[in-house]
């Protein structure tokens, strides 16, 4: 009697179909995890930019003994992702409020840094 070695074509096709079904199920889950990770990283970038802006306000106050007139008067030192905010407010308590921010050209909607108090300046 001759022993059979290997797989039949139907067995191979069945394995490929099962792998394809698994790929269809797993791919959206993995993509969702990647999207959430990118969103979290973008929010951390905005927070880092906000903390750098807070530090720049404090440095400006120490160097000039007065509150900066415009947000553009600040020297904000950052590294990493490029953050730009359409709304950048200097509050009278020396805190910074940032909204409508983009990280490396990607808009991060619905996320703000700081709180909006009585505003001294609203120039981005």
Structure-derived torsion over alpha carbons of residues 67, 70, 73, 74, reported in degrees to the nearest 10:
70
- SS3 label, residue 7: coil
- Tens of each residue's pLDDT in the chain, 124 residues: 566 788 899 999 999 999 999 999 999 999 999 999 999 999 999 999 999 999 999 899 899 988 888 888 888 888 888 999 999 998 888 889 999 999 999 999 889 999 887 544 444 5
Q: Is-contact 80 48, C-beta < 8 A?
A: yes
Total domains in the chain come to 1
What is the pTM for the complete model shown? 0.75
Residue 10 CA to residue 13 CA, distance in Å, equals: 5
Residue 4 belongs to a domain: no
3-state secondary structure of 43: helix
**Domain membership of residue 85 as a residue range:** 9-121
Domain annotation covers residue 101: yes
> Cα separations (Å) of 37 from 40, 53, 99?
5, 24, 20
């Amino acid at each position: 009697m001759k022993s059979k070695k290997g797989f039949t074509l139907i067995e191979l096709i069945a394995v490929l179909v099962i792998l394809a079904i698994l790929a269809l199920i797993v791919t959206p889950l993995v993509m969702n995890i990647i999207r959430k990770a990118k969103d979290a990283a973008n929010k951390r970038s905005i927070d880092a930019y906000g903390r750098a802006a807070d530090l720049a306000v404090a440095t400006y106050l120490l160097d000039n003994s007065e509150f900066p007139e415009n947000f553009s008067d600040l020297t904000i030192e950052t590294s990493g992702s490029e953050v730009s905010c359409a709304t950048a407010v200097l509050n009278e308590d020396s805190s910074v409020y940032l909204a409508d921010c983009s990280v490396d050209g990607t808009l991060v909607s619905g996320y703000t840094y700081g709180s909006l108090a009585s505003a001294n300046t609203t120039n981005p």
